[in-house]
Amino acid sequence: MSIERHELSCEGMRAAVLTYGAALQSLEVDGVNVVLGLEDPEEYRTRSRYFGAVVGRYGNRIARGRFTLDGTTYQLPVNNGPNSLHGGVDGFDKRIWRVTAASTSAVTLELVSPDGDQGYPGTLTASITYTLDGRALRLDYRARTDAPTVVNLTNHSYFNLAGGGDVLGHVLRMAALHYLPVDEQKIPTGETAPVKGTDFDFTGPRRIGGWEDHCFVLDGGIRVVEPVSGRVMEVSTTEPGVQFYAGGMLDGVATPYGRHAGFCLETQHFPDSPNQPHFPSTVLRPGETYTSTTIYRFPA
């Protein structure tokens, strides 16, 4: 199936969204593209590292690719060592989404994931709406199911506010007093640890170190500054956490981008929540609607 491209514009901002993976291909702020993307949409089938994609049915990791819901255990494909990552081998990032509404400043894409897809129960109908509103990009997710399931959708854009080079000079401040420690497989241990006195403390402005690939518990918003250009991005979300990843696994071989060419702020529920009952629940049941909103704002 061919890949469609939809262009959005509003007040000094332009964006391009692909139907493949519902991916944000580009986001121009005052003429500078601040996300990593591939010029040829067809390359997303073979060269993407989730660039700009909506990942699901469950973003981040589920330990051993297994969880139990209402007494039934479900086995998912494992694609990250012994664990399932970003929905499995054939996640939402590799699907063609259907455009259900479009205008000059907004586009809505929908995907129907059948019962048993990648091992997940229930037929899930998911959608995302990208909206340019003033100097902000707003992402609104919705999902419904016909049987109990788990859902954790997020966007995997890599940002570079300089429009090139690496992101290690970017300065980040994040209202997060706690983070989730992980084991050697990057699965949360179940502990919620304070950031104070550790390298995880971004409650004050701090340069990106390059080692980051952890989930932080959000108490408020995020602000990133690129000091040379002075460009600023502010992030707000309805989600309880954010996976902050500094692009350390980009290699410049499989894709055009080398290490630390971009950073990700994947707003989401916590990794492995289906196996961690004290984490905020990611269970969705028939009659309920999953909703999530994240806004990336670029003050003038």
Question: Which residues are designated catalytic?
Answer: 156, 266
The answer to whether the Cα torsion of 42, 128, 245, 221 is positive or negative is positive
Estimate to the nearest angstrom the gap between the alpha carbon of 28 and the chain centroid. 19
Q: Which residues make Cβ contacts (< 8 Å) with residue 173, sequence separation at least 6?
A: 202, 203, 204, 205, 206, 222, 223, 224
Helix (H) or strand (E) holding 242: strand 241-245
Q: Report the chain's C-alpha Rg in angstroms.
A: 18
- 247, 260 in Cβ contact below 8 A? yes
Instruction: Encode burial over 188-210: b for 16+ CB neighbours within 10 A, e otherwise.
Output: beeeeeebeeeebebeeeeebee
Cα 249 to Cα 10, 212, 287: the distances in Å are 33, 11, 40
Judge contact between 285 and 145, C-beta under 8 A.
Answer: yes
Q: What is the largest CA-CA distance in the chain?
A: 55
